[in-house]
Amino acid sequence: MKELIDGIRRFQSHVFEARRGHFERLARGQHPHTLFVTCSDSRIDPCMLTQSEPGDLFVLRNAGNIIPPRGAAAGEEATIEYAVEGLRVRDVVVCGHSHCGAVRGLLDPREVAGLPAVGRWLGHAEEVLRTVRENYGHLDGDRLLSAAVRENVLVQVEHLRNLPAVASRLTRGDLRVHAWVYKIDSGEFFAFDGDLKQFLPIHSGRHIRSALSGPWRPRAEGDRPGTP
């Protein structure tokens, strides 16, 4: 706790005072451009990773960056609806990450034994298990986990686009949805290209197509060079 309190003091004396005008403007209302859906993992900091300012991102975090299917009576749908219809964000990013404990628990329930609430929560991603069994039986260990992380992001994007608020904006063509994966150990980001049906490295200057550009369900592992 001492670390947190010391951090607050440094923020107040150095950061806030130097940017008081910015924070006063934020107090009058928020206008984020992107809804960023990612994992609760302590190693993931959306604002640091994207070098965003306060007020830029509307962030939704939970174990495994999961978006429960429509009608699941989860708070995620309300948060997404508020961002998409209330705040009128222009983009939605669903960002998974390497070494994800939630996806590891999905692949091996022994990892979450004794955590019944976690087990129930991971049930919202059960489609990932079917996809992994059907397409990645030749993989194991870290390669299997990496494939499952990617597939989990794509499954959650499918759930996302079936939510009424998102579906309406996608039909109007004024919302873009993106599927990303972040590698903790290298700092690399990969985005799913809806036309090429591959995860491609995000480089400065490269045009990243929306994950929802046309039919986008990915091919098998061996057909996707350069994937995370």
- Tell the burial category of 220 from Cβ atoms under 10 Å away from its Cβ (0-12, 13-18, 19+): exposed
Compute the distance between CA of residue 9 and CA of residue 15 in angstroms, rounded to an integer: 10
State the first-to-last Cα distance of the chain, in angstroms, to the nearest integer: 36
Long-range contacts of 10-15 (CB under 8 A, 24+ apart): none
Contact call for residues 146 and 228 (beta carbons, < 8 A): yes
| Residue 97: predicted pLDDT | 98
pLDDT digits (tens, 9 = 90+) for 46-100: 999 999 999 999 999 999 999 999 988 779 999 999 999 999 999 999 999 999 9
pLDDT tens track for 115-134: 999 999 999 999 999 999 99
pLDDT for residue 215 is more than 80? no
Q: Which residue has the tokens 């306060």?
A: 54
pLDDT at 142: 93
Inform me whether the pLDDT recorded for 181 exceeds 60. yes
**Amino acid at residue number 174:** D
- Across 66-70, 193-197, 215-219, least confident range: 215-219
107 burial (CB, 10 Å; 0-12 / 13-18 / 19+) is: middle
